[in-house]
Amino acid sequence: MAATDLERFSNEEKRNLSLGGHVGFDSLPDQLVSKSVTQGFSFNILCVGETGIGKSTLMNTLFNTTFETEEASHYENAVRLRPRTYDLQESNVHLKLTIVDAVGFGDQINKDERPIVEYIDTQFENYLQEELKIRRSLFNYHDTRIHVCLYFITPTGHSLKSLDLVTMKKLDSKVNIIPIIAKADTISKSELHKFKIKIMSELVSNGVQIYQFPTDDEAVAEINSVMNAHLPFAVVGSTEEVKVGNKLVRARQYPWGVVQVENESHCDFVKLREMLIRVNMEDLREQTHTRHYELYRRCKLEEMGFKDTDPDSQPFSLQETYETKRKEFLGELQKKEEEMRQMFVNKVKETEAELKEKERELHEKFEHLKRIHQEEKRKVEEKRRELEEEMNAFNRRKVAVETLQSQSLQATSQQPLKKDKDRKK
Ligand code: GTP
Ligand code: MG
């Protein structure tokens, strides 16, 4: 459709028509409900809070059941995320509930929030990968994205720990955070009031965005805005049942009295259950998809090079984006290849130069040795000549001496003869 047609079409007034009789599309909401009920729902809760703060107890209390639990040790090497999925049914509604525990969080100073962030991102990534598949099966996909993070605050009565603020700040763009003051029976009423105010002001001054119960739907706007003013909820968990009057109620029993979990003047447990399960569970699921996942998806796709519009504000087609990215990638690959080749050539040149230098050094050494050798040879030759001359001189002297000796011998042997002759005469 041409742009002008589009404009005319959207500018056309919509006409209201009345129906002559019952058509049946008023059953659409019922059809939706029926489809959703058949499909079932999934809800994923992340519990973050120090070891032994009462996470498992609160989950058991909230869902009125006993989930598998194992106590975490205080000596975990790192924070570890432990998801457990359960199938729950209430009336004809099936709920696939996943409770994820951040085991070991807050135990020692080196415990950080990174594994929690990574876990949340991994669930988003899995969902994105499923969406990007050619054959998607989102209909029966087990959605593990975290819908709510219950952040358990230690009831110190002082202020939030810096670890709490840092962690919540890191998580607030990725998940709906509902902060709760755990073990609220261990703090007095007036202290609790001050503590709540302090927590909220610290969250605001540190720019931590916590989940706000929505007030745009008229049906729940009033209750939600009242409940927003009660945050953070101060809760007490217990799976123990105590007889109060003639009724068995969930409570914690102390020597001085009983703290009833579901008594609104004792704690905010009922408010939390109302808000989390009965009123806003669907909003939490929706916010996860439309806000947090959307943000993750947008960043990830932009990182991958996808854009909605090109520099001239024209819509970008997926094909074009893919081609551009492919060209970019090939260009980079070629550049890298060229760099590698150049590096290789340089290396070869360097090695060649080194080898030549070594050869020259060796040659010089050889020449030097050769010179020394010749010098020595010459010296030896000279010595030999000298020795020969000495030998010749010696021989000459020897011959002369021998001649002299033989002459004197001759002379001495002739003398007696002469004497004899003289005597005979
Ligand atoms: P890990 O999973 O080991 O980190 O512990 P957790 O946070 O799941 O705590 P858990 O529910 O196991 O409770 C630890 C202890 O705290 C138990 O002895 C509970 O009875 C107690 N506890 C739980 N909730 C409350 C509470 O609201 N008030 C008080 N006073 N104690 C509680
Ligand atoms: Mg536990």
pLDDT tens digit string along 167-216?
Answer: 999 999 999 999 999 999 899 888 999 999 999 999 999 999 999 998 98
Protein residues whose CB sits closer than 6 Å to any atom of ligand 1: 51-57, 71-72, 101, 183, 185-186, 236-237, 252
DSSP 183-236: SGGGS-HHHHHHHHHHHHHHHHHTT--------SSHHHHHHHHHHHTTPSEE--
State in Å: Cα 57 to ligand 1 middle: 6
* Nearest ligand (C-alpha, residue 237): 1
Whole-number Å distance between alpha carbons of 73 and 76 = 6
* Confidence label for 218 from pLDDT (cuts 50, 70 and 90): confident
Q: What is the pLDDT of residues 220-250, one digit of tens each?
A: 888 888 888 888 999 999 988 888 888 888 8
Element spanning 249, H or E: strand 247-254
| 48 CA to centre of ligand 2 in angstroms | 10
Judge contact between 201 and 244, C-beta under 8 A: no
Closest ligand 1 atom to residue 182 Cα is 27
Q: Whose CA is nearest to atom 23 of ligand 1?
A: 54
83, exposed or middle or buried, with CB in 10 Å at 0-12, 13-18, 19+? middle
CB 253 within 8 A of CB 240: yes
Nearest atom, ligand 1, residue 57 CA:
11
Which ligand 1 atom is at minimum distance from the Cα of 60? Answer: 11
- Ligand 1 atom 5: the closest Cα is on which residue? 52
Do residues 136 and 147 touch, judged by C-beta distance below 8 A?
A: no
Locate the ligand 1 atom nearest the alpha carbon of residue 186 and give its number: 30
Q: Which ligand is nearest to the CA of 105?
A: 1
Q: Ligand nearest 69 Cα, by number?
A: 2
Residue with tokens 């260009």: 331
Which alpha helices (DSSP H) does 1-70 contain, by range? 3-11, 28-39, 55-63
Nearest to 45 by CA among 165, 145, 173, 180: 145
Ligand 1 pocket mutation, candidates 57, 58, 252, criterion most atoms within 8 A of CB? 57
Higher pLDDT, 310 or 269: 269
Beta strands 233-234 and 241-244 are unpaired
Q: For residues 401 and 158, what is the distance between their CA atoms, to the nearest angstrom?
A: 128
Question: Which residue type occupies 89?
Answer: Q
Q: For residue 47, which atom of ligand 1 is closest to its CA?
A: 7
Report d(CA 330, CA 336) in Å as an integer. Answer: 10
Pairwise CA distance, residues 251 & 238, whole Å: 6
pLDDT tens-digit map of 364-388: 999 999 999 999 999 999 999 999 9
What separation in Å is there between the alpha carbon of 52 and the centre of ligand 1?
5
Q: Which residues contact 113 (CB under 8 A, 6 or more apart)?
A: 79, 105, 163, 166, 167, 170, 171
Question: Global pTM?
Answer: 0.74
The neighbouring-strand residues paired with 242 are 249
- What is the average pLDDT across 92-121? 85
What ligand has the least distance to the C-alpha of 182?
1
CA of 144 to the centre of ligand 2 (A): 20
DSSP reduced 3-state for 128 = helix
- pLDDT confidence of residue 13: 73
Q: Within a 10 A sphere around the Cβ of 172, how many other Cβ atoms?
A: 18
Which ligand lies nearest to the CA atom of residue 60 in the structure? 1
- 364 CA distance to ligand 1 centroid (A)? 84
Q: Ligand 1, closest atom to CA 103? A: 4
What tokens does 279 get? 């009123």
Residues 177 and 149: beta-carbon distance below 8 Å = yes
pLDDT cut 70: percent of the chain above it: 90
**Section 351-357 average pLDDT:** 96
CA of 71 to the centre of ligand 1 (A): 9
Half-sphere exposure of 97 (CA within 13 A, CB side): 21
Better-scored residue on pLDDT, 76 or 88: 88
